[in-house]
C-alpha cells in the first residue's frame, strides 16, 4: 500500500508542477495532496516536500492552522474573477453563468474564511 501512496504523491507533485506553468491548474492543492500521500508512504519524501523552500511554508501553514497566505488569497481571487470574466466574454448561457457564479462564490467564501498565515 505504501507504494500506491508514493505513486499517488508523485503524480500529485507532477500535477502541481504543471500548475506552475498552466495558470488555471492550482499548484498548492496538489502539493497539499502530495504531502498527504507522502505522509502515508515515505518519511523522506514527506520531509522533502514540507521542508521545500517554495512549497513547504504553504503546506505547514495549512497542516497546522488551516491557513492561507494573504497573497495566496489575492491571487486566488484574481484567478476566480478571470475565470468568470472568460465565461462572460465567451457568451456562455445565463444558466451556466449563474451556476459558475454560485460555485466560484462558494470557493471564494471558503478561501477568505481561512485564517491568514
pTM: 0.77
Cα distance between residue 93 and residue 39, in whole Å: 44
Domain span including residue 90: 70-113
Q: Are residues 38 and 91 in the same domain?
A: no
Burial 57-96 (b: 16+ CB within 10 A, else e): ebbebbeeeebbbeebbeebeeebeeebeebeeeeeeeee
Q: Are residues 50 and 6 in the same domain?
A: yes
Q: Are residues 38 and 80 in the same domain?
A: no
Closest CA to 5 of 49, 42, 48, 41: 41
Percent of the chain with pLDDT over 90: 81
What cell does 76 get? 486566488
Q: Are residues 53 and 35 in the same domain?
A: yes
Tell which of 26, 46, 65 closes a domain. Answer: 65
Rg (CA), the chain: 16
pLDDT in tens, 35-88: 999 999 999 999 999 999 988 999 999 999 999 999 989 988 998 999 899 999
116 - beta bridge partners?
A: 68
Q: Are residues 58 and 20 in the same domain?
A: yes
Amino acid at each position: 500500500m505504501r507504494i500506491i501512496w508514493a505513486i499517488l504523491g508523485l503524480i500529485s507533485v507532477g500535477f502541481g508542477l504543471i500548475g506552475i506553468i498552466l495558470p488555471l491548474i492550482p499548484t498548492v492543492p496538489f502539493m497539499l495532496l502530495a504531502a498527504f500521500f507522502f505522509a502515508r508512504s515515505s518519511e523522506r519524501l514527506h520531509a522533502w516536500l514540507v521542508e521545500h523552500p517554495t512549497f513547504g511554508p504553504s503546506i505547514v501553514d495549512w497542516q497546522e492552522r488551516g491557513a492561507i497566505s494573504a497573497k495566496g488569497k489575492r491571487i486566488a481571487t484574481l484567478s476566480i474573477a478571470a475565470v468568470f470574466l472568460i465565461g462572460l466574454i465567451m457568451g456562455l448561457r445565463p444558466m451556466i453563468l449563474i451556476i459558475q457564479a454560485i460555485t466560484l462564490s462558494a470557493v471564494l467564501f471558503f478561501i477568505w474564511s481561512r485564517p491568514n498565515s
